[in-house]
Amino acid sequence: MFKNKSILFFVPTGIFSVVLLYLVGWNIYTSLTNSSSFHPVANFVGLGTYVTVFHDAIFVSSLEHSLLWAFALIAAGNALGIFFATLIYNVGSARIRLIFTTIFIYPLAISLAASAVIWTWLFNTNTGINTILRSFGIPGYTWLDRPGSALPSLILVSIWVFSGLAMIFYLASFQNVSREVIESAKIDGASTFRVLIKILLPESKNAFIVSTALLFLFALRIFSLPFVSTGLNPFTETSVLNMYFYYITEYFAKSSAVSVVLVILATVVVVPYALFGLKRWISHD
């Protein structure tokens, strides 16, 4: 029936793409109406919903927090990923490398909700970190309740979780570099830092692109961490786009508009990454 049966392998992808495009189209259309659980009949309002959303101080604050979270996670996650990968790469014993690798990626095995519970206890006024501080005569600190410290504290938790992911990509990239090149550089007097700067990092462009794209997407998906730690209060400094989205769920048009904004932000990163991957695939073909 089919001369080229390989086409059949694209059928599931084709079906998924059609369904996805339909849902995206429906979502965009809904965002152009005043649809909500309080308005059974939706009327077309054009970009009015987007104007309303962008004039909402809570949305603007949530958007700022999400972008700040993303940039902080990308910067610190990549920096720590490179640092951890360099440490492991320069360890001589394979067994010790395995132990350290497991330690650094272990936070990824824990759900963000569970991590939030653990760190909420650590940040608690009467337990965790404050207990250690008091043992040294240092007053306790209200990490999650004081303005100016709650958001940075939760960002630090996400960095603790996702820096291991960046480490995996950089370590894999480092291991693709010929050991003979590294040894020759060391014989010529190059320090570990110089080897990293002149040899390893220039060969890690792909790792940086993949790591940055994934860290950005993970930052946009953040929800359970602030939700569990500080609660669903859109007026707090830990409110992010997904919390705002959850808060306005009954307002279908507004929630659709927010989801479109999230898709646009994700596309800004994903499309260049996809084009870069396609370019490399064509160049190696």
Residue 236 CB neighbours (<10 A): 18
By the 10 Å C-beta count (0-12 exposed, 13-18 middle, 19+ buried), 43 is classed as exposed
CA geometry: angle at 8 spanning 6 and 11, to 5°?
A: 135
- Cα–chain center distance at 258: 18
**How does pLDDT run across 30-88, given as a tens digit for each residue?**
889 888 877 667 788 888 899 999 999 989 999 999 999 999 999 999 999 999 999 99
Q: What is the pLDDT of residue 283?
A: 61
Q: What is the pLDDT of residue 1?
A: 52
- Asked if 143 and 155 count as a contact pair (C-beta separation under 8 A), the reply is no
Q: What is the pLDDT of residue 270?
A: 79
SS3 33: strand
Q: What is the pLDDT of residue 164?
A: 93
Q: What is the pLDDT of residue 5?
A: 66
Structure token pair of residue 210: 């993949």
In the block, tokens 């790792």 appear at 207
CA geometry: angle at 85 spanning 79 and 91, to 5°?
A: 140
Q: What is the pLDDT of residue 24?
A: 87
Q: What is the pLDDT of residue 277?
A: 66
Comparing CA positions, the residue from 157, 158, 129 lying closest to residue 142 is: 129
Q: Where are the alpha helices (DSSP H) in the chain?
A: 11-31, 48-54, 57-89, 94-105, 112-123, 129-135, 150-175, 179-187, 192-195, 205-220, 224-230, 241-247, 252-284
Low-confidence ranges of the chain (pLDDT < 70): 1-6, 39-40, 232-235, 277-285
Q: Which residues contact 152 (CB under 8 A, 6 or more apart)?
A: none
Q: Which residues contact 76 (CB under 8 A, 6 or more apart)?
A: 159, 163
Q: What is the pLDDT of residue 236?
A: 73
- Asked if 222 and 240 count as a contact pair (C-beta separation under 8 A), the reply is yes
Residue 66: CA count within 13 A, CB half-sphere:
27
Phi, psi (5° rounding) for residue 44? -75, 125
Q: Please give the domain boundaries of the chain with CATH numbers for all domains.
A: 56-284 (1.10.3720.10)
> Rounded distance, CA 35 to CA 246, Å?
16
